[in-house]
Amino acid sequence: MLTEQEIINNALKEMLFNEDLTSQKYADIAQQITNPELQNLLKGMEMASRNNYKSISQKMSEKSIT
């Protein structure tokens, strides 16, 4: 049985993985489309996902989660 801390650690790691994957998907789609308005929207969504990644990563560092 996992401890509460292990559950939290695993959840943060999964969140980090998902944010990385999401930002990559947004970047890939933005490169494939030609509509500038949609490209800008996707680039903004990519940036938001990268900011989320950074925030999660900082929290993990603060709690010494690797």
- Per-residue pLDDT, 66: 78
Q: Whole-prediction pTM value?
A: 0.86
Long-range contacts of 50-56 (CB under 8 A, 24+ apart): 50/19, 50/23, 52/19, 53/16, 53/19, 53/20, 53/23, 56/12, 56/15, 56/16, 56/19
Q: Is 3 helix (H, G, I), strand (E, B) or coil?
A: coil
**pLDDT value at 65 more than 90:** no
- Per-residue pLDDT, 63: 86
Tens of pLDDT, residue by residue over 7-60, are 999 999 999 999 999 999 999 999 999 999 999 999 999 999 999 999 999 999
